[in-house]
Amino acid sequence: MNILTNTRSISDDGCQVCGSAQRKHLFTGPDRHLGHPGQFALYQCEQCGLIYQYPQLSWQQLEPYYQGDYDSYGKLLRQESSSIKRRLQRIGTLKQRAFIERFCKSGNLIDIGCGNGVFLEEMQLAGGWQLQGIEPNTSAATFAQAQLGIPVTTLPFEQAEIAPNSQDVLTMWNVFEHLYAPMDALKKAYDVLKPGGHLIIAIPNPDSLSRHVFGRYWMGWELPRHLFLFPVHTLAQAVEAHGFKVIDRQCFMVTYFVLGNSLTHWMQDWPAGLKPIAKQLRRLYYTPLTRLAFLPFQWLIERSKQATVLTWALQKT
């Protein structure tokens, strides 16, 4: 996942979507993904349904929680010598590209939280796009710019200098939930998109089947890095208030792997005597045979929009 940070501080001003100060506590939990210390509380706005961490850590406090696999980014296709691995690696980015090209096949595109440029490389291969990236990780941004020849800025999106009404497409692949000020990002997106331009947001779906099955062990919570989570009706309300209309919602990203992460989180609290069984079950889950057997179930939950990651296509009205 890619990261976009912001230096804005968090105060007790109420819900960022509707302004209400009425909230209910959902649960308090640890960093299950990377295992860093601490306990973090999630609340839900009683008026609009927005789920948010409270209190939120400042960026100085939160930055160490990104140390680990968040410091690494996938290989570019041009770095992979194996043709088989290149084809497998490209499955995800081809799905992303196909989703975008249903609405727009060329123009100006900025990938917000671009990492080392894996998605930008796919769009570069497509041709017809004038591309830019935004990535606060300096080493990743430098790498992407050097390898792809695409300009990448390390400023937060809200602070980046982008001409108004200049972009055809903005993408946020698993970025929106990390932002300190997501409503400010929507306002900036509206300002820089051309009339009729598109904003693509892939975000954890708290209405998903796996959230209801796994509860506090659901991978999409990812405390403390995910600051906000948006039920479908809440995000629809927020984007419409900022001048966008929802033109599509689809599930097509990393369903198999995020379900595996939720299983791992659940097994973390198993009694010590069951840990060897948990280890064997995890190993079994990630075998090719299990993945093949999982495909019909994956197709079903993705078609019903019940997967963990939901990708929104929004159009500036």
Q: For residue 170, which of 7, 74, 313, 73 has the smallest C-alpha distance? A: 313
Predicted confidence (pLDDT) at residue 8 exceeds the cutoff of 80: no
Higher pLDDT, 88 or 292: 292
Q: What is the mean pLDDT of residues 236-253?
A: 97
- Give me the pLDDT at residue 88, please: 79
Q: CA angle 282-283-284, nearest 5°?
A: 90
Our measurement of the distance from residue 22's CA atom to the centroid of its chain's CA atoms, rounded to an integer in Å, reads 27
Place of tokens 């430098």: 142
- Give me the pLDDT at residue 89, please: 80
Q: What is the mean pLDDT of residues 305-315?
A: 97
Give tens-digit pLDDT for 20-51: 999 999 999 999 999 999 999 999 999 999 99
- Sorted by sequence, the CB contacts under 8 Å of residue 110 that are 6+ apart come out as 131, 132, 133, 134, 162, 167, 169, 170, 171, 192
Predicted confidence (pLDDT) at residue 70 exceeds the cutoff of 80: no
Predicted confidence (pLDDT) at residue 2 exceeds the cutoff of 60: no
Predicted confidence (pLDDT) at residue 6 exceeds the cutoff of 60: no
Place of tokens 């009694």: 271
Mean pLDDT of the chain: 92
Predicted confidence (pLDDT) at residue 315 exceeds the cutoff of 70: yes
Percentage with pLDDT > 70 across the chain: 94
Q: What is the mean pLDDT of residues 283-301?
A: 94
**Domains annotated on the chain, with CATH:** 23-66 (no CATH), 75-251+311-316 (3.40.50.150)
Sheet holding 51-53, edge to edge: 23-29, 40-45, 51-53, 228-229
pTM of the full structure = 0.91
Q: Are 112 and 86 in contact (CB under 8 A)?
A: no
- Give me the pLDDT at residue 73, please: 65
Give tens-digit pLDDT for 103-143: 999 999 999 999 999 999 999 999 999 999 999 888 889 99
Percentage with pLDDT > 90 across the chain: 83
Predicted confidence (pLDDT) at residue 10 exceeds the cutoff of 50: no
